[in-house]
Amino acid sequence: MAMHKIRVKVQGAEREAEVESRLLLVHFLREVLGLTGTHIGCDTTHCGACTVLLDGQPVKSCTVLAVQADGREVTTVEGLEQGGKLHPIQEGFWQEHGLQCGFCTPGMLMTGYALLARNADPSELEIRQAISGNLCRCTGYVNIVKAVQHAAAKLRTTAA
């Protein structure tokens, strides 16, 4: 069995582990590091529940190997909150009721976070396009779009 020593910066902190070549990033996060906030949904690169940031880009962690993250930075949903304070994107989902069952939420939050990092004032269409790789079976997306808009407005106020 091919084992590899990897070092991954997770929410800014170096984590080291010895992993099998075939270990998926999502399993590394959930089972090796205990970060179960990242969900496994379809496991076939469709649903986006497992979305994390890899060097700042949202990707589906069920379709990345843990060894590929060696020497790189990963941010999961656990990394959004700072000092006990929710990130505006989390606050947006709270305020606008952007979830029902909550299963897709970690992925939606990471995709929304990445969108707002490169586009401070996205249109409704841009939001809908950005989350088109994240499936929600409860909300009908209306409140998710509102949640991202809420976060965008909040972030713009904070930045101003």
Partner 1 sequence: MIPAAFDYHAPRTLAEALALLAEHRDDAKVLSGGQSLLPLLKLRLGAAGHLIDINRIPGLDGIEEVGGALRIGGRTRESELERSPLIHARYPLLADTAAVIADPLVRNLATVGGNLAHGDPANDHPAAMMALRAEVVATGPRGTRTIPIDEFFLGLFTTALDAEEILTEIRIPLPPPGSGGAYEKLERKVGDFATAAAAAQVTLGAGGEVVRAGIALTNAGPTPVRAVEAERYLAGKQPTAAVIAETARLAGAAANPSADRRGTIEYKREMSRVLTARALRRAIQRAKEQ
Dist. CA 130–CA 158, nearest whole Å:
23
Helices (H) and strands (E) in the chain, counts: 5, 5
Residue 20 found at the interface with partner 1 (CB under 8 A) = yes
Cβ-based nearer residue to partner 1, 88 or 107 = 107
Cβ-based nearer residue to partner 1, 58 or 92 = 58
Residue 105 found at the interface with partner 1 (CB under 8 A) = no
- H or E segment and range at residue 15: strand 13-20
* Phi–psi pair at 45, nearest 5 degrees: 65, 20
Dist. CA 61–CA 47, nearest whole Å:
11
- Which 40-99 residues touch partner 1, going by CB under 8 A? 43-46, 48, 51, 54, 57-60, 62-65, 67-68, 70
Cβ-based nearer residue to partner 1, 33 or 114 = 114
Interacting residue with partner 1 among 5, 7, 22, 156 (CB under 8 A): 22
Cβ-based nearer residue to partner 1, 2 or 159 = 2
Is the CB of residue 145 less than 8 Å from the CB of residue 96? no
Interacting residue with partner 1 among 111, 139, 143, 149 (CB under 8 A): 111
Q: Which residues pair with 7 in a beta bridge?
A: 16
How do beta strands 3-10 and 13-20 pair?
antiparallel
Please report how close the Cβ of residue 157 comes to partner 1 at its closest, in angstroms: 26
Residue 24 found at the interface with partner 1 (CB under 8 A) = yes
Neighbours of 132 (CB within 10 A): 11
| Residues lying near partner 1 in the complex (CB under 8 A) | 1-2, 4, 20-22, 24, 27, 43-46, 48, 51, 54, 57-60, 62-65, 67-68, 70, 111, 129-130, 132-134
